[in-house]
Amino acid sequence: MPPRPRPSLAAALAAALVAALLVLLPGSTTAAAAPVLLSQGRPATASSTEGAGTPASAAVDGDNGTRWSSQFADPQWIQVDLGATARLSHVVLRWETAHARAYRIELSADGSNWTTAHSTTAGTGGVQTLDITGTARHVRVYGTERATAWGYSLWEFQVYGTTGTGPTLPGGGDLGPNVIVFDPSTPGIQARLDQVFQQQESAQFGSGRYQFLFKPGTYNGLNAQIGFYTSISGLGLSPDDTTINGDVTVDAGWFNGNATQNFWRSAENLALNPVNGTDRWAVSQAAPFRRMHVKGGLNLAPNGYGWASGGYIADSKIDGQVGNYSQQQWYTRDSSIGGWSNGVWNQVFSGTQGAPAQGFPNPPYTTLDTTPVSREKPFLYLDGNEYKVFVPAKRVNARGTSWGNGTAPQGSSIPLSQFYVVKPGASAATINQAVTQGLHLLFTPGVYHVDRTIQVDRPGTVVLGLGLATIVPDNGVTAMKVGDVDGVRLAGFLIDAGPVTSPSLLEIGPAGTTTDHAADPTTVQDVFIRVGGAGPGRATVGMVVNNHDTIVDHTWIWRADHGDGVGWETNRSDYGFRVNGDDVLATGLFVEHFNKYDVQWNGERGRTIFFQNEKAYDAPNQAAIQNGSIKGYAAYRVADSVEVHEGWGLGSYCYYNVDPTIRQEHGFQVPVKPGVRFHDLLVVSLGGNGQYEHVINGTGAPTSGTSTVPSTIVSFP
């Protein structure tokens, strides 16, 4: 076939100018309606494509140099999902030479049932601006007769209109009463810190949520004790902009020196000069220590060296030694430390300067020189007197912190005026309207009940929580879904299952997507999932990742083993973390207590750096967990169809305290293929409550007795 003609750059610019003039003509319907562009970056699908270089998404990407084109046949269609019902005003079609002679513009509320809003049998090609009347979420161009021998081809398919029933939502505004902002001259800082701590110290399943923000400067003589659902952060662009001559402390006095339940809290973006030379951060899951500079040592154990159950450090500099002491497991990423002491079962490091040498299982250190792909968590800061959110850039083969050494941080800043500041009482409809309108989301501390799914379908949207903001889905809906788009950033919030079973609590991308997101992946950071504990909660699966190239950087997905609404069937949730997308990377993956598989990995080329798991304590008997002929469901299951997968530093523990006679076949079940590789694995029986027969597949010695000694595998196969 001869080469297809392409319009010149001048022609394309002229067409764009004509379209702009059509929209702006005095007295035109579209100008009077003041519509907004709703379709750009939204999920688009088509009946066919001419080739891989002309996907449907190219017609809604805002680039007049990329296009969708179909196969050379009639009929063909392209449709776009606007993400929410909208009142439509007009559609702009920017045809390539291969245009439609006969076509319809069709509207649908559900993507299945269509009505015609415009029809022609005399299409002229070029740029066509078509007035449309109606409301719809889905809009389709349905071509029935081609004007050329080729297919149908659109540079851009643009849908304009308005969403929601109320006025345009404002961006920015105050951060609400539970965001407590200090500057160095604020009186009574210590008293306010103590007041919140007294309330939150043991409020493990309470409704209080708090965020402390410290403006740049120096603060003297403080001890910020951090309780449940409390976050403390500096407001500088660098941690060293905000210095506390004092401590940020987590201890376990409330639980008799046992730190295994010190969950749901965080410290970020501060420099500390500890009073006694060493700061104490005795935490377990869901308690990140990010972007911190400790000008001394860091003690990860509670006073008295009681039990502690693992945690996470990223993008931090600890000048002195990190004392691990009684921490069963820990993950440190892209940081700098002065040294590391001790380790119980599983200590993992990637991209960490000063990390101990590889030694697993004795000492239990797994050390990777770099992190393959990382991108730090977005954070709120002050630029003069203006709040902004800094969105760090992606790093490849990172080592050390993203800040310091006199270099400016790499990334971009978004002013708070471009965020919808979400406050308790906001509805899911309003939140979705904000996203559709083009705003990012900043959830202030609080608990949010949503009666429909929060849809994040715009590329590059930032969803940032303060003070462990908590989203609870009502009526069995999925709390949040991300579209098949680039660069969404989810960070710093908790999703808590409701009493009606949700099919899932968080979904990243639609099922079956084939889009490559490697250049600008979605990241999920410090997003925690909980089923039960705060009350009855049920979900079939906690988190589902469908989008390719997604980075999940520190999550704790937890089916509760204590608290309210807890029981084998009461807080039923069969699966914790399911990956269907390809090239997904998990750094710091904590998943515990699900009724069947804790992790199911179906996508190709997946990688996990650090995994911590406990099987469900409350299995009533062997029959309840029987998986066909296999005794129990593996903690980490890689599908038999997978050809390439790799993991480093993974551990699974059992504590079948209802029936200690239960036998678990293995912690890990994977296909035996050259591309499926695992490094530094362990299983352990806690006090002999249940036993593992193998570590991975049929390989590895069984655990035995009550000695709580791990069975390990250094390399598999």
Q: Is 614 an active-site residue?
A: yes
DSSP state of 580: -
- Can you list the positions of beta strands (E) in 476-547? 480-482, 489-496, 502-508, 523-531, 539-545
Question: CA-to-CA distance for 213 and 208, rounded, in angstroms?
Answer: 17
- Can you list the positions of beta strands (E) in 393-501? 394-398, 411-415, 419-422, 440-443, 447-450, 454-456, 462-473, 480-482, 489-496
Question: CA-to-CA distance for 696 and 366, rounded, in angstroms?
Answer: 18
SS3 for 660-714 is CCCEECCCEECCCCCCEEEEEEEEEECCCCCEECCCECCECCCCCCCCCCCEEEE
Q: Which residues have C-beta within 8 Å of that of residue 486, sequence separation ≥ 6?
A: 459, 460, 517, 519, 520, 521, 522
Q: Which residues have C-beta within 8 Å of that of residue 113, sequence separation ≥ 6?
A: none
Catalytic residue selected from 106, 268, 507, 614:
614
Q: Could you tell me whether strands 230-234 and 265-268 are parallel, antiparallel, or unpaired per DSSP bridges?
A: parallel
Question: CA-to-CA distance for 15 and 13, rounded, in angstroms?
Answer: 5
Question: CA-to-CA distance for 390 and 464, rounded, in angstroms?
Answer: 11
Q: What are phi and psi of 318, to 5 degrees?
A: -115, 110
448 neighbors 477 (Cβ within 8 angstroms)? no
531 neighbors 569 (Cβ within 8 angstroms)? no
Question: CA-to-CA distance for 83 and 391, rounded, in angstroms?
Answer: 24
Secondary structure (3-state) at 240: helix
First to last CA, the chain: 51
Q: What is the CA radius of gyration of the chain?
A: 27
Structure tokens given for 78: 């392209």
Question: CA-to-CA distance for 621 and 637, rounded, in angstroms?
Answer: 22
Instruction: Centre a 10 Å sphere on the Cβ of residue 417 and count the other Cβ atoms it contains.
Output: 14
Structure tokens given for 165: 């029933």
224 neighbors 242 (Cβ within 8 angstroms)? no
Catalytically annotated residues: 614
